[in-house]
Amino acid sequence: MVKICCIGAGYVGGPTMAMIAFKCPKIEVVVVDIAVARINAWNSDRLPIFEPGLDEVVKACRGRNLFFSADVEKHVAEADIVFVSVNTPTKTRGLGAGKAADLTYWESAARMIADVSKSDKIVVEKSTVPVKTAEAIEKILTHNNKGINFQILSNPEFLAEGTAMEDLAKPDRVLIGGRETPEGRKAVETLKAVYAHWVPEDQIITMNLWSAELSKLAANAILAQRISSVNAMSALCEATGADVAEVAYAVGKDSRIGPKFLNASVGFGGSCFQKDILNLVYICECNGLTEVANYWKQVVQINDYQKSRFVKRVVSSMFNTVSGKKIAILGFAFKKDTGDTRETAAIDVCHGLLGDKAQLSVYDPQVTADQIMRDLAMNKFDWDHPQHLQPMSPTTTKQKPAFIFDGRNVINVEELRKIGFIVYSVGKPLDP
C-alpha cells in the first residue's frame, strides 16, 4: 500500500488528508508542517481550524492511519506520494508584487523534497499555483538527480471553507493532471486509485498538467465573476427600485445560468478569490494578453467598489457621519461556518467605519477577540460577546432612529422595519 505525506497542515492539507485517511483505512497518511504549534493543535482536542464534521473524521482515524508531525523531512523521505499544500499568497514585493503568486513556500518545499528523497516519488500540487508551475518544480526536483524518478501531478482542491468535509466526501469532480508519458500516466493511475476508494470513477477527470493547473484558477475566477456580476447589478437595483433578490431569482431560473452564487452581498472575501484572480491577471499580462487581464481585473475592482459602497451607505444613512456612534458588527469571518478571517470583507468595512471614528463592537462565534484585534491592527477594542441576539425594538434604545445594514441579505427586512428599525439591505429598495 502507498504511503502518503502532505506538506502543509492548513485549511486544505488538514481536512483533505483527514478525508483520505478516513476513506482509505489501509493507507498511512502523515500531515507535516513547519508550524509546530499548528501540528500540536492537530494532535489535541482543539483542532487549529473549525469545519463542520472535521472533528469527528479526525477522531475516527488519528493514531490509526492519520498522523500529524513536525518531523517534515523524515516523513517526506518515507512517502510514495507527497502532496504539497503550502500557502501561495499574493507577492508583496519585487517583480509582480500585488498580483503574482508568491511561490517561496513551494520552492523551499520542493528543494527539501529533492534533498531528502532516496526513493521514487509522486509529487502532487495540491496548492493553487500559476499554470506552468510544474515545469519549474520539475527543474528543482531533478536538479540534484540521484537517479530518483519524480512525477509531478496537478490535483487542485475545490473545497469551500465552511462546507469542506461535505465537499471532500462528495466532490463535484476530482482533477488529476499529469505528463503524457508512460511514467506520467502510471502516476496519474496511482493517485486515481486513492480517490477511487470513494469518488465515482466518472467524476475523476484526468487531463494534461497545464489544463489542470489552469482549471483551478479559471473556476475561482468564474465563481468570483458571478458574485461581482450580481453585486454590480445590486448597485443598479438600488438606483432604480428593483430588488436584486428578485432579479437574481429570475436570472437563476434560466437553466443555462442556474441559481448558485447569485447572492448579492457586501463583497467576497477569503484567501482565494482575490489572490487567484490577481494571479490570473498577472499570468495574462506576462503572456501579452492585456485585454484579457483587464477583463479579470474588473472582477476585483467591482468587489472593492461594493465594499466601499457599503461603508458609504452606512455613513450617509447615519446623517453623513458615524463619529462617536456605536455600531455592532455581527460576523467577522469571511463567511459562515468558518473562523477564517483572511481578507474578509469585514476588515475593509471596519476600517472604513473606524476611519470616521465610529465606536465598534465586533462579534463572531468562531473568531477570537485577539484575532480580530490582530486583523484590525488595533490595541484597544470595544468588545462584545452577545450569545443570543434578538431583534430589539429601537424604542428601547436611547438613540433613535436605530439602523440595521445587512451585508449578506439574511435578515427579515419587513419584520425589523415593523418594529421601527431603519433597514438597508444590499440591492433592495431603500427604506420607504
Grid coordinates belonging to 40? 500540536
Bridge partners, residue 196, by sequence: none
Give min distance, CB of 126 to ligand NAD, in A.
Answer: 6
The CA-based dihedral angle spanning residues 307, 290, 342, 21, taken in that order and rounded to the nearest 10 degrees: 140
Q: Are 423 and 404 in contact (CB under 8 A)?
A: yes
State which of residues 25, 35, 236, 415 lies at the interface with ligand NAD (CB under 6 A): 35
Does position 341 interact with ligand NAD (CB under 6 A)? The reply is no
The total number of residues shown for the chain amounts to 432
Q: Which residue lies nearer to ligand NAD by CB, 226 or 325?
A: 226
Among 109, 209, 283, 333, binds ligand NAD (CB under 6 A): 109
Write down the least CB distance from residue 220 to ligand NAD, Å: 8
Q: For residues 111 and 417, which CB has a smaller minimum distance to ligand NAD in the complex?
A: 111
Q: C-beta of 120: minimal distance to ligand NAD in Å? A: 21
Based on the shown chain and the rule CB under 6 A, indicate whether residue 162 belongs to the binding site for ligand NAD: no
Q: Which is nearer to ligand NAD, 375 or 406 (CB)?
A: 375
Instruction: Give the residue with the Cβ less far from ligand NAD, 268 or 421.
Output: 268
Query: Which part of the chain contacts ligand NAD (CB under 6 A), choosing from 3-11, 60-68, 142-150, 363-371?
Result: 3-11
| Residue from 43, 45, 34 nearest 8 by CA | 34
Interface residue with ligand NAD among 6, 20, 23, 38 (CB under 6 A) is 38
Among 161, 167, 238, 406, binds ligand NAD (CB under 6 A): 161
Compute the distance between CA of residue 278 and CA of residue 371 in angstroms, rounded to an integer. Answer: 26
Q: Among candidates 110, 91, 93, 111, which has minimal Cα distance to 101?
A: 91
Do the annotations mark residue 234 as ligand-binding?
no
308/310 Cα distance (integer angstroms)? 5
The response to whether 33 counts as a known ligand-binding position is: yes
Q: How far is the CB of 248 from ligand NAD (least distance, A)?
A: 24
Element (H, E) at 271: none
According to the annotation, is 93 in a ligand binding site? Answer: no
Does position 128 bind ligand NAD by CB under 6 A? yes
Task: Choose, by CB under 6 A, the member of 2, 34, 286, 328 that binds ligand NAD.
Answer: 34
38: annotated binding-site residue? yes
Which residues, at least 6 apart from 381, have a Cβ–Cβ distance to it below 8 Å?
Answer: 360, 362, 369, 372, 373
Using the minimum distance from each CB to ligand NAD, give the nearer residue, 274 or 425.
274
How many residues interact with ligand NAD (rule CB under 6 A)?
A: 27
Please work out, in degrees rounded to the nearest 5, the angle formed at the alpha carbon of residue 365 by the alpha carbons of 417 and 56. 130
The long-range contacts involving 272-276, CB below 8 angstroms and separated by at least 24 positions, are 272/128, 272/220, 273/220, 273/223, 273/224, 273/227, 273/303, 274/90, 274/224, 274/300, 274/303, 274/343, 275/88, 275/89, 275/90, 275/101, 275/128, 275/343, 276/128, 276/216, 276/217, 276/220, 276/221, 276/224
- Establish if 12 lies at the interface with ligand NAD (CB under 6 A): yes
Q: Is 6 annotated as catalytic?
A: no
As given in the structure block, the three cell numbers for residue 343 are: 481578507
CA–CA distance, 402 with 423 (Å, rounded to integer):
9
Q: Are 321 and 356 in contact (CB under 8 A)?
A: yes
Q: Is 159 in the site for ligand NAD (CB under 6 A)?
A: yes
187 labeled binding residue: no
Distance CA 188, CA 173 (A): 15
CA distance 71 to 280: 34
Q: State yes or no: 82 annotated in a binding site.
A: no
Which one is catalytic: 6, 237, 272, 350? Answer: 272
Contact 210, 124 (CB under 8 A): no
What residues between 67 and 86 interact with ligand NAD by CB under 6 A? 72, 85-86
Give the x-and-dash track for 258-297 against ligand NAD (CB under 6 A). Answer: -------------xx-------------------------
Phi, psi of 5 (to 5 degrees): -130, 140
Q: How far is the CB of 210 from ligand NAD (least distance, A)?
A: 17
Q: Is 157 one of the binding residues for ligand NAD (CB under 6 A)? A: yes
Q: Is 342 annotated as a binding residue?
A: yes
Q: Give the residue numbers of the binding site for NAD(+).
A: 8-13, 33, 38, 86-90, 127-128, 161, 272-275, 342
Annotated binding site: 8-13, 33, 38, 86-90, 127-128, 161, 272-275, 342
Residue positions annotated with a catalytic role = 272
Q: Where on the chain is the footprint of ligand NAD (CB under 6 A)?
A: 7-13, 32-35, 38, 72, 85-88, 105, 108-109, 127-128, 157, 159, 161, 271-272
